[in-house]
């Protein structure tokens, strides 16, 4: 009799990364997802930003997360025969007179400086196209995962091998039994890993988590005057070049929301920020929204249920899923397969 599979509920970024990690280790997997559902992963820009925010913070652990993420997406690309991670320099434009001073101070730290490009003569961005002086700094080790296309290509690969089933089984209908988990359709699983994104808030097996999820809205805009720009630009709002003068631009954060649809207020906020950045005209061609799965302290939570070890969890990728997801998926696979302890602060059993 063949070994029961590891079942993964949810084929967003978390579930897909875990599935690839297990497949590469030769494990049988079965993934469930509703292909028509809107998800954070399908809406995400997929950008990796080593230095973030108004305080120019070096993303914690980026020195370990980034090489592992690049290697992971490259290994999956070899399997798919297609690359979905695109390296691109990111330009961070100064937003106020304090930032260049803070930057000069932070440059004293070699770990910070390693993520910045040597200053070049002239402004970082053309001040005839952008408001302000066009000054700032460049992050050479940046880029983006075309998450939607990567999920679709992975789904085709999984489906062609019978590893993907359409549907969203109700977590309450899974039954832990002595040696395995009984699925709602009567089949058995060695382990069930819930990778449900923000929907996991309703998962009855993990009620103790403190969720801080945030709805995000994002635009796709046509900016003909920037059709030659290949870098990701960030100045109060970011612009991710898709080619032919099209850019994705965002994003908003809302901590409460009546529904998950795009709103006129979200669009107005994004267009107002675009107005603050661009001297040239743009046209909005798409407007999307989704809820980022964020858990207390913005940390990933993963691992086995403390009472029912056949049920497991992988969630909380927050705003940095593309950077953090690969390393977390590897740690979780080590934990599930070899019993390797998870870092305490990430282990769902203790949080
Ligand atoms: C506007 C916006 C911009 C973003 N930009 C970036 C960015 O630039 N860089 C970055 O790194 N991150 C970004 N993110 C965050 C990123 O989307 C998340 O970190 C990540 O995609 C979350 O992945 P996930 O798989 O945990 O959740 P999700 O993407 O929500 O996936 C969960 C999946 O599980 C399915 N599901 C739910 N319940 C069940 C069930 N019971 N059975 C089966 N399937 C189920 C859902 O349908 C869904 O497909 C952005 C997010 C938003 C909203």
Convert the pLDDT of each residue in 41-63 to its tens digit.
999 999 999 999 989 999 999 99
Q: Is 171 in the pocket of ligand 1 (CB under 6 A)?
A: yes
Q: Do 6-43+148-210+296-350 and 89-141+214-292 come out as alike in CATH topology?
A: no
Tell me, in angstroms, the distance from the centre of ligand 1 to residue 36's CA: 14
pLDDT in tens, 236-276: 999 999 999 999 999 999 999 999 999 999 999 999 999 99
Structure tokens at 198: 């923000």
The pTM score is 0.97
Model pLDDT, residue 120: 84
CA distances from 229 to 75, 92, 234, 247, 341 (A): 28, 14, 13, 10, 45
Cα–Cα distance for residue pair 272/280, rounded to 1 Å: 13
Cα–Cα distance for residue pair 226/150, rounded to 1 Å: 26
**In testing the pocket of ligand 1, which one of 196, 267, 346 has its CB within 8 Å of the most ligand atoms?**
196
pLDDT above 60 (res 1): no
Mean pLDDT on 110-119: 94
Q: What is the mean pLDDT of the chain?
A: 96
Mean pLDDT on 166-195: 96
Q: Is 163 in the pocket of ligand 1 (CB under 6 A)?
A: no
Q: Are 237 and 274 in contact (CB under 8 A)?
A: yes
Classify residue 126 as exposed, middle or buried by CB count within 10 Å of its CB (0-12, 13-18, 19+): middle
Domains in the chain: boundaries: 6-43+148-210+296-350, 89-141+214-292
Determine how β-strand 6-9 pairs with β-strand 191-194.
parallel
**Predicted confidence band of residue 121 (pLDDT cuts 50, 70, 90):** confident
Which CATH number, 3.30.9.10, 3.40.50.720, 3.30.70.330, 3.30.70.1520, labels domain 89-141+214-292?
A: 3.30.9.10
Question: What is the per-residue burial (b if ≥16 Cβ within 10 Å, else e) of 188-210?
Answer: ebbbbbbbbbbbbbebebbeebe
Which CATH number, 3.40.50.11810, 3.30.930.10, 3.40.50.1360, 3.50.50.60, labels domain 6-43+148-210+296-350?
A: 3.50.50.60
């Amino acid at each position: 009799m063949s070994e029961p599979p590891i079942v993964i509920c949810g084929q967003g970024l978390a579930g897909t990364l875990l599935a690839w990690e297990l497949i590469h280790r030769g494990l049988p997997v079965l993934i469930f997802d509703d292909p028509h559902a809107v998800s954070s992963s399908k809406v995400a820009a997929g950008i990796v930003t080593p230095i973030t925010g108004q305080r120019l913070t070096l993303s914690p652990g980026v020195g370990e997360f980034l090489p592992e993420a690049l290697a992971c997406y490259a290994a999956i690309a070899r399997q798919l025969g297609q690359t979905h991670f695109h390296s691109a320099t990111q330009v961070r434009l100064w937003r106020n007179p304090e930032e260049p001073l803070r930057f000069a101070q932070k440059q004293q730290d070699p770990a910070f400086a390693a993520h910045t490009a040597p200053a070049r003569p002239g402004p970082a961005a053309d001040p005839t196209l952008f408001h302000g002086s066009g000054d700032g700094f460049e992050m050479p080790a940046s880029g983006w995962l075309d998450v939607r296309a990567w999920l679709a290509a992975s789904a085709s690969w999984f489906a062609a091998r019978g590893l993907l089933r359409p549907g969203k089984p109700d977590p309450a209908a899974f039954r832990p039994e002595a040696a395995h988990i009984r699925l709602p359709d009567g089949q058995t699983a060695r382990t069930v890993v819930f990778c449900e994104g923000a929907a996991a808030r309703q998962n009855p097996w993990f009620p103790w988590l403190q969720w801080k999820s945030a709805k995000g809205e994002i635009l796709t805009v046509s900016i003909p005057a920037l059709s030659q720009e290949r870098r990701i630009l960030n100045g109060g709002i970011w612009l991710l070049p898709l080619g032919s003068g099209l850019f994705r631009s965002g994003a908003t954060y809302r901590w409460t929301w009546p529904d998950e649809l795009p709103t006129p207020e979200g669009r107005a906020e994004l267009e107002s920020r675009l107005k603050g950045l661009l001297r040239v005209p743009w046209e909005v061609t798409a407007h999307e929204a989704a809820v980022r799965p964020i858990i207390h302290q913005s940390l990933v939570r993963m691992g086995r249920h403390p009472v029912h070890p056949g049920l497991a969890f992988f969630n909380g990728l927050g705003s940095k899923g593309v950077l953090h997801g690969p390393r977390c998926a590897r740690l979780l696979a080590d934990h599930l397969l070899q019993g390797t302890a998870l870092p305490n602060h990430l282990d769902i059993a203790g949080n």
